Structure 1
């Protein structure tokens, strides 16, 4: 039998007694019951509440309305569900919650049908969020429920019923995605806050007491978009993140780093900074408490030379978009390596990959390849100068190690002052700072080059305003999408924000870790690459081109972006709630966009704190999370990875909060703290 179980209780921190609140003349819970009963594939509906006296009104309502009701444990909701299913001889359980009065019966049937067709252990529409909060449906077998009931030990797994089933590799899973284009992607149809209740009452007042579904809700909001403001800005599944706080903190283990330390001593004698990249240097991790050398990677995990395993979030500073050793990419690169790597004439892959880029990147009409981001940003700047016959560059963000940019930073030794003087920075989200450059240097600025987004989100219209200002002053507009390309969307930030530059620079995620980059753009500008000098032996290296082709094909065919946005959103939301629960809102902040976010650490005064970051990083490493500040999500990251990471964050934040309270952050460090890459001038 397929048993629909509605989880309901009177207790709620933010809105006590919410399941019995009146909506259109009857308690909210009865709306949920009616909607679940309307699902064709659910054979029986039952309310599962607790034996706590405070939940007596739920049982009394069910008795009056002849709705079957089971009472069980208040906090061990997993046990409550298992006992409910056993008592009613269910073979399949459909789980919904009593605070979702807009539950759509057609969505319930869609998830149940997917479960039946796939013959999986668990089907849901929440593995990747494509439905609004409040339309959540989970379907699982009695066998899976029983296994979870027997093996789950963490409070969060028992209170929230399904985390173990969702995350364990022992269960097969299917996700059901919404095919309707959600104009209001943050739409909340659940009731957790008073504002949610107000919003739902407004929907019922306009759409009638029953019978409406998601389609009708979206139609209404298209006509009355102001309604969405009633309950916007809330965090989905906040209750689960709060449950993590109640758990005992995840224990940490001091890492064995013998091989890393020995190899570091050798590297110091041979390699300046002991690394090829400043951001990968030992100075960027707590020295003595962090690995120095990574040996291998698989999927979302990496192993250091001492055999310590970590969930990877730096992801090689962003290039790993699919996962380490992703099969299709590895196979394509290996096959090409057997045929040849570098040739005396161009390889056909140069044409094939260039064609792909022109199809997916809005501004791309022609393409030239490089090996890293600095190659192509320098090439774009050179082309802009040739096109405009001007010398000065206005920039915003980080653009690599070439003289034209790095001369403006504190890492400027070896760069002539005359070169550095030709580049002028402006502030992100501050159009006036760019206007002042055009006013100060009229007719001299060749191009405005910027990262469309670093970590701070642009204000509405900012990127278009910058483009307009550049063009009004005869300058080209260049997007440095070395980071955002293939991460925010297939066509990068220019696709996501709907702003098309004259030139764009892409790299990093383009080949899932293989060294390749490209400058792309409008034909009249790109044709100048026939005349400027942009030429190097490995620009058309075939193995990386094969990897890029395979990577783009996977991104296209598997539509990885919902996964990146979903898991990144859970990580950001969870970190935000945990920071708040531990009183660290003034010290820890998650900024950026879900596929790539950054956790910042500050003193109470607002100044950056590398000491706080160092202690947090140290505690994450002890719990198997490679943390350096950035949170780059790849296609191989799993919900289990994210939940493990949040439990590691929870433990680290508790330690951090205590250290701040006792003013002994530095004393708790087991090595030298993190140092800045760019030192203050």
Structure 2
């Protein structure tokens, strides 16, 4: 019996497999977020979750996992965090949605603007796409310009047409809409200035994640700020991931460069649905009632100010500030990265299984024998992690992890590296896949 066969027989998820069939019968794609689809996991090894607590989740088959990337980076304090749940329960008992604003809305706004002092005003919604699209609409209204310049090095900004039309999944989006979105490369001020010059007086905004898997080059964000001012362009920071994880005030708080508008989500609600558009008063008021110009339909969401979600956001921010959560995320990530790198080096796969990113937002790359990105080797690696009780589409940490979780993860990674080495030596990972490889989210065909 081969090692690959042993793994297949020892670790299987029959109940999860049945649940996935039910999901696909009722929900297009089998999940409400493409990044959670079972095509992102090895064949027949996509666990369906029963419940979670802290840094651990349990699937419907009864397996417990140490979880990374919790809720696609949204559950940064860990599942069922007591301080957040206390705030949520308090508001649920008082009613969740009214015909007029709740006092919770102003309290949540005050809490947010105290945490992100570079912004003057904030408006809440339910998901990141709503607020990034609102930022684009506002920038177009303020400048009177049609084009949107997106950073082409970042994978996702919105489900809306202005962005999705630029991806391989552009079906259903008119070409005329897509043509209004142009791309600029991260870290290259000269190329960005050339773009703004080529489309002089046409670009409404520059939108980007201020940081990603690498740190911004020295002076880059400040240079973008200067370019935006000189060309009359609105500078938008998408802080969905960097918000709270880079600093309590996001990347803008860490690097000291203030955008005109910024958007937050993910960690803001610790799993509860809340996002935020924040920015300079003179821009944000275009969506309000205290200006004399043409009105902008900025954001208007029935559920955008549900009291329990705003209470969760306030509790999350308070917890971050009072308990030093951002520093803890970095310390945990540094411990994990060091352990993984030591394990990969010891097994001779350090050049092939690579940990990247800021310590609070680690990802891994799986490279083949020619050092090229490989979905096959990613599949092999994920299979071994799952069998070892580690659910890790990334290595993004939550503050609920402890040293024992990190140490156990490193042990499982070391075991996976032994198989990785065998596959590299054979120049063929196929015997260890037991099915089709995992697939990228953005692809034109199923």
Q: TM-score range by the shorter chain?
A: over 0.9
Alpha-carbon shift at residue 255 of structure 1 (Å): 2.9
Question: Is the counterpart of residue 275 in structure 1 residue 31 in structure 2?
Answer: yes
8 Å CA contact 2:75–2:271 kept in 1: the answer is yes
The aligned counterpart of 2:292 is none
Q: Distance in 1 between matches of 2:194 and 2:442?
A: 26
For 1:38-77, what aligned pairs fall within 5 Å after superposition?
A: none
Give CA deviations for 1:163-212 in whole Å, capped at 9, x if unaligned.
xxxxxxxxxxxxxxxxxxxxxxxxxxxxxxxxxxxxxxxxxxxxxxxxxx
Give CA deviations for 1:68-95 in whole Å, capped at 9, x if unaligned.
xxxxxxxxxxxxxxxxxxxxxxxxxxxx
SS of 1:443 mapped into structure 2: coil
Question: Is the counterpart of residue 570 in structure 1 residue 335 in structure 2?
Answer: yes
Give CA deviations for 1:126-181 in whole Å, capped at 9, x if unaligned.
xxxxxxxxxxxxxxxxxxxxxxxxxxxxxxxxxxxxxxxxxxxxxxxxxxxxxxxx
Q: Distance in 2 between matches of 1:290 and 1:267?
A: 12
Alpha-carbon shift at residue 347 of structure 1 (Å): 1.0
Alpha-carbon shift at residue 680 of structure 1 (Å): 7.0
8 Å CA contact 2:115–2:317 kept in 1: the answer is no
8 Å CA contact 1:288–1:670 kept in 2: the answer is no
For 1:159-178, what aligned pairs fall within 5 Å after superposition?
A: none
8 Å CA contact 1:393–1:445 kept in 2: the answer is yes
8 Å CA contact 1:589–1:601 kept in 2: the answer is yes
Alpha-carbon shift at residue 590 of structure 1 (Å): 1.2
Alpha-carbon shift at residue 310 of structure 1 (Å): 0.3
Output the TM-score relative to the length of structure 2. 0.93
SS of 1:632 mapped into structure 2: coil
Q: Distance in 2 between matches of 1:527 and 1:274?
A: 40
Give CA deviations for 1:244-298 in whole Å, capped at 9, x if unaligned.
xxxxxxx99933412111111222211111111000000000021331x111010
Q: Distance in 1 between matches of 2:44 and 2:171?
A: 29
Q: Distance in 1 between matches of 2:434 and 2:69?
A: 22
CA RMSD of aligned residues (A): 1.6
Q: Distance in 2 between matches of 1:465 and 1:428?
A: 12
Aligned length: 429
Alpha-carbon shift at residue 553 of structure 1 (Å): 1.4
The aligned counterpart of 1:328 is 83
| Larger relative contact order (Cα-Cα within 8 Å, sequence gap ≥ 6) | 2
Q: Distance in 2 between matches of 1:476 and 1:605?
A: 42
SS of 2:362 mapped into structure 1: strand
Question: Is the counterpart of residue 386 in structure 1 residue 141 in structure 2?
Answer: yes
The aligned counterpart of 1:287 is 43
Question: Is the counterpart of residue 595 in structure 1 residue 360 in structure 2?
Answer: yes
Give CA deviations for 1:368-412 in whole Å, capped at 9, x if unaligned.
111011011001111111111111111112202111111111111
The aligned counterpart of 1:180 is none
Question: Is the counterpart of residue 375 in structure 1 residue 140 in structure 2?
Answer: no
Alpha-carbon shift at residue 495 of structure 1 (Å): 0.9
For 1:150-229, what aligned pairs fall within 5 Å after superposition?
A: none
Q: Distance in 1 between matches of 2:84 and 2:417?
A: 37
The aligned counterpart of 2:4 is none
Alpha-carbon shift at residue 432 of structure 1 (Å): 2.6
SS of 2:57 mapped into structure 1: strand
The aligned counterpart of 2:278 is 520
Change (3 A) 1:254 1:479: farther
8 Å CA contact 2:369–2:424 kept in 1: the answer is no
Question: Is the counterpart of residue 459 in structure 1 residue 217 in structure 2?
Answer: yes
Residue in structure 2 matching 1:580, options 320, 329, 345:
345
Unpaired stretches in structure 2, ≥5 consecutive residues: 1-6, 289-294
Q: Distance in 1 between matches of 2:9 and 2:270?
A: 31
Give CA deviations for 1:420-458 in whole Å, capped at 9, x if unaligned.
111111111222331221121011111101001122322
Instruction: Please say which of residues 435-444 and 315-324 is displaced more in the overlay.
Output: 435-444
Q: Distance in 1 between matches of 2:434 and 2:8?
A: 13
Q: Distance in 1 between matches of 2:371 and 2:185?
A: 19
Higher radius of gyration, 1 or 2:
1
Give CA deviations for 1:346-373 in whole Å, capped at 9, x if unaligned.
1111111111111121421001111011
SS of 1:535 mapped into structure 2: coil
Alpha-carbon shift at residue 606 of structure 1 (Å): 4.1
Q: Distance in 2 between matches of 1:253 and 1:638?
A: 31
Instruction: Please say which of residues 570-579 and 302-311 is displaced more in the overlay.
Output: 570-579
Q: Distance in 2 between matches of 1:437 and 1:604?
A: 38
8 Å CA contact 2:131–2:263 kept in 1: the answer is yes
The aligned counterpart of 1:430 is 188
SS of 1:607 mapped into structure 2: coil
The aligned counterpart of 1:344 is 99
Question: Is the counterpart of residue 662 in structure 1 residue 423 in structure 2?
Answer: no
Change (3 A) 1:388 1:606: farther
SS of 2:205 mapped into structure 1: strand
Residue in structure 2 matching 1:486, options 236, 244, 251:
244
8 Å CA contact 2:379–2:437 kept in 1: the answer is yes
Q: Distance in 1 between matches of 2:343 and 2:162?
A: 42
